[in-house]
Amino acid sequence: MVKFSYFLRTIPKLLGLFLFLLLLGCQNSSTQPNQSPSATLNNKKPTSTYPQNKSVPDYAYQLADYVAKNGRSPKGYVGGRSFQNREKKLPRYNNQKQRIRYKEYDVFPKRSGKNRGAERIVLGDDNSRFYTFDHYSSFIKF
């Protein structure tokens, strides 16, 4: 016969395991540490209304449109700094042989104590738009 004290020692361990598995299953499956700009800008889930490159998320389009309309990034976002294009991965000159000036923007709002993530958009003064998911290692024009 199994001793009663065995059950008293086992039950807390089983409850702990159950709670751990429950919490593990309830985690947000999103890989992004921050809320998407579409939810911040529109207060609703994003809907795809853009003739988009499928590699570029809707929130990058929405942020670029916001900056184009308002001349700045939304409140709470980091952005508007000059992007130097030192690695020369983006075009340096437009069709009229004029130098393109770029500015970079975070695609997620800044959250205190949290990493800003690797995703950015880079906007040129020639209306060019680029998205990077890997912190400027590669770019996708959109």
The CATH number linked to 99 is 3.10.450.30
Is the pLDDT assigned to residue 11 strictly greater than 80? no
Rounded mean pLDDT of the chain?
82
Express each pLDDT in 116-130 by its tens digit.
999 999 999 999 999
Give the pLDDT of residue 41. 55
Higher pLDDT, 128 or 22: 128
- How many domains does the chain divide into? 1
Residue 16 lies in a domain: no
Buried b (16+ CB within 10 A) or exposed e, 78-96: ebeeebebeeeebeeeeee
State the pTM of this model: 0.65
The amino acid occupying position 58 is: D
Residue 72 lies in a domain: yes
Residue 15 lies in a domain: no
What residue numbers bound the domain in which 47 lies? 37-84+92-141
